[in-house]
């Protein structure tokens, strides 16, 4: 019972420390950058859905620097 009381005290105060709110702050930072146009994802390579096995091999080789995009039906965003 004493351990449960200690755990409840720890959990109750987690919201007060700024490092515990890091994930939310990072999300706001990324969304603000996307809205402003200053933050864009880097696309390393684009594969068609028909070459999904090639995309998987490329990812397994760990040679990418950025995102690997798979397009459907030859569409590229």
| Per-domain residue ranges of the chain | 1-40, 41-77
Rounded to two decimals, what is the model's pTM? 0.51
| Neighbouring-strand partners of residue 71 | 48
Which strand (E) or helix (H) includes residue 10?
Answer: helix 2-12
Residues 6 or more apart from 34 whose CB is under 8 A from it?
40
Residue of 21, 25, 75 lying closest to 46 (CA atoms):
75
Q: What is the pLDDT of residues 56-68, one digit of tens each?
A: 999 999 888 889 9
Query: Helices H, strands E: what count in the chain?
Result: 3, 2
Give the model confidence (pLDDT) of 44-58 as tens digits. Answer: 999 999 999 999 999
């Amino acid at each position: 019972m004493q351990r449960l009381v200690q755990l409840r005290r720890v959990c109750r105060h987690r919201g007060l420390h700024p490092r515990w709110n890091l994930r939310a702050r990072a999300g706001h930072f990324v969304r603000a950058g996307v809205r402003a146009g200053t933050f864009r994802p880097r696309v390393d390579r684009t594969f068609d859905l028909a070459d999904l096995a090639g995309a998987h091999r490329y990812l397994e080789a760990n040679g990418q620097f950025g995102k690997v995009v798979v397009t459907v039906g030859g569409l590229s965003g």
